[in-house]
Structure 1
Amino acid sequence: MRYFFDDFSFDTARRELRRGTDVIAVAPRVFDLLNYLIGNRERVVSKDELIRAIWEGRIVSDAALDTRLNAARNAIGDSGDEQRLIKTFRRKGVRFIGAVHETPASTGATVTTNSPTPAFAAPGKPSLVVLPFANLSPDPEQEYFVDGVTESLTTDLSRMVGIFVIGRNTAFTYKGKHVDLKQIGRELGVRYILEGSVQRGQGRIRINVQLIDAGSGNHLWAERFDKPIADFLDMQDEIGARLANQLGTELVTAEARRAAQAPHPDSMDLYFQGMASVHRGSDPANLSQARKFFERAICLDTSNAEAVVGMAFVDAIRGTSMQTGDRTARLLAAETSLAKVLAHLPNHAMAHCLLGVVQIFTKRAAQGIAECGRALALDRNLATAYAWIGLGKCYLGRAEETEACVMQAFQLSPRDNRAFTWMINAGVAQSYLAVDEAAVYWFKRAIETNPNVAAFVHVYLAAALAHLGRIEEARASIQMGLAIDPNFTLAHFHASSPTDNPTCLAQRVRIAEGMRNAGLPER
């Protein structure tokens, strides 16, 4: 069945929630909850009934149920205060009260084992199917959890830019079948296949996952996810989110390799190559190369919003990393580009996040934090938003809160390709707090993770080392920074202050003293 309400469409066959043309990422349990409420909208549904229907009678706390109700409301633009669509009736339950129009669900082609042509994947788009994960646990009752992990991962991957993901219902027609992976690729018309297994035992969950090139059958990437069991209900969503974050980088890299060999790359090919350059680091060379790819992508297709966001990303990072040059103009260019994207795509999570970053670095930290919060409401997997919120708090004089935000980002995406920037944010906050040993730890860890960092990282590291009395190391660090950007000076550091907060300004005076003692030129 397909339901329409407000500007949303809710397709139960495809398990998709859309606002306009945008797919809204929804966790499997939250989708099921919405489905049940919409399907029973003529009456109030008690909490006990919801638990029986969605969790099959398993014990669920009121807090866990309320969390998913709130997630359902957020997904459809509602809130506990407004209750425009989902209304709570005290001591009775909840009811979907929005006006709903329904039509039969969209249908797809039937999968056959001898299909001569691809029937599903969008032409020209990188495409992926997540096959049902295998249950390696001795307890067959764990099957529902394994299926939940597969569904959660499918939902999270569907939000990825430029990647077509085969729907859950089609993928599950292969459950329990031994079919050649190349054959699946031909039948579904996909470039990539993700398969995996889940094993639960002795208080731990272990997941093995492999990404396979459907054309050649070659393994492109493999990963193991191993952790203790905590909140069983939340775990399948967390696993899906963490695997999706890691897999996203791998797919971008694979597509960039493919695009580099294409004789006539299209706009999305160039976008993927630009993102691959972004992933390599934030030094001027990589950022310049990335921007050229994004510019070429836009020349080929002016409607390629992702390339516009990519170009805004480059401008924002150049402006925020204190690279000498016209910092103000770069931040303004980024904000202008993002405003245009959001005017047409108001639910673009990364555009909201980058706009928040620009605001944080233009003395509007409170606005920037709120904008990053909007990004997280649209995409719960956008780990980097947590790290930028942490830096925003630093620039509001609350640097003691920054590291906890950074750790939230790491919890969600522990091997993220942009994790080195989160380490830098933590190091900056520790410098503001005058906790120099911790600052040195974070800056050195960032440089070890990705040596292609901007000059200011080495300069900040030098200041912390100088305050610790490690002058020779501090001077060496200054020289490394000046090798990247010979024009970096104390005057530039002062001119690029992202905050007017009195607490922060006093803290920056101490940081500048460290830079001066390490040998950074005044002008």
Structure 2
Amino acid sequence: MTEQRRLAAILVADVVGYSRLMGGDEAGTLAHLATLRTEIIEPQIAKHAGRLFKSMGDGFLIEFASAVQAVSCAKAIQDANDQGRLPLRIGIHVGDVVVQGNDLMGDGVNVAARVEGIAEPGGIAITRAVHEQVRDKLDLGFIDRGEIELKNIQRPVQVFVIGEAKVVGQATVLTLPDKPSIAVLPFQNMSGDPEQEYFADGVVSDIITGLSHYKTLFVIARNSSFAYKGRQVDIRQIGRDLGVHYVLEGSIRKAGNRVRITGQLIDAINGAHIWADRFDGDLEDIFELQDQVAGRVIGGIAPSLWEAEKERAKRKVGNLHAYDYFLRAGAALDRVSAESSLEALALARQAITLEPDFALAHALIAELYVQRWSFGWTVDRPGETKEASRAVRRALELDSNDARVLAWCGQALFITMQRVEEGAALLDQAVRINPNFAAGWTFRASMRIASGEPQSAIGDLERALRLSPLDTLKFYTLTLLGRALTLNGEPTRALPVIAESLRLRPNFQGALVELVVANVLVGRLASARQALAEYRTLLPEMRISIYRERTPHLPMGGRETYVAALREAGLPE
């Protein structure tokens, strides 16, 4: 009997994190899955002349006569399922299939299934064969991800993603948030003294923090705003780069005991000036001046927001010299080196000597020890852990309502003291208080990974990347995202994320480990061994036994997966 074959467009969809959802609420998940199928998937299949030829729990395989029908159906399903409890991933391929009764088999189905694994939650991935048939017929913002090796597929496959799917390393257009959105650029230092640069930067950081407490605003994180420091860039381009409607720019002049802040709020869509103003006062009034600037921004964007969000977090410092040392310490922290971390510690300690009740300075000391531990700069583990513990305790005694205090202390409890539950509670509280604090989402994701919740961590990390798309520490967030994807059973999707992290910070030890593990899990042993060689060049003393001791950031099962992968790549016991 002659084998029946035909050309078909195959759509494969499945629910992201289905096993975890079933484990948490089996009855509820099954009910939502039934609703998803009967109210969204099946009606759209019928509307686009498709045929559901196989369903397996949370997975759906659908045949279409044309690629246009398949892609149109996929887009309609994702749009209808927006914000749904069961997020879907969809992959589509056009190819030859083997007909066996009502079932379809062959490469056309296999490739679609593998491509589906590349799509983001809520996203759609298609092969070049599909793209060639729909690119001139459907305007969906296709983004080329290049050729990707797929498991059990003989040759690399060129893949495109559609619309707003998040693609690491690609220049995508960010969609404006559904609330007023703003980026605060570094203010120009008009003091004539380069040494005062840290003061201007610190004041702007506090304005950003002040605005971030308004939950009705979407505020870009400091590290992304400061990517434009010293650069002349069109405001409209900045708005497109950061995905915001408004941009605040200005200048600061500090002379003696007087300070002048000027600011102008600009509509980044059309370049129109909304307002410009000048604020003068004594250094003793610096916090009041910052609040005036923030208040005028709110008033310029939407007057109703000011009345709705009047309550502001109270600052816990009265000594301006202490504040000066704190700003210098923060600037040293941002340089991310073993030497600058020691400099920052000394400056933060001076701030506390002058102002013992300065909560943020205590919390900064805790965060500095997290940085030292994370980058392998710790030289006295017991002593540094003891000082970090004191700093956390004192910071929380002084102010448990500041998102930065909570996030820095929560991360320190988790990383340096391995007090996971306490750290998790503080990080949850930090993002509740300030949902615009990108680092808070990143830190919480790290905690969720360690707690065995990689799917939840992926969502937190995507939010952090959106809040700070140009962050100087983006490499760290991307490394965590690669780890979360690997632990979520998606090492193929993790690889380009890890590669982007290493592009931003070559030889980052954490990313190299992730590269080793992900390559082992997808069967690329030669690439894994090459990455391990680079890792051991940086840490020649590393052994399996030492690695086990240094991985509080991994859940128990995940740790064994990583250890097995490192062992297979050649790391000695």
TM-score by length of 2: 0.44
Which structure dedicates a bigger proportion of its chain to strand?
A: 2
Task: With the length of structure 1 as denominator, give the TM-score of the two structures.
Answer: 0.48
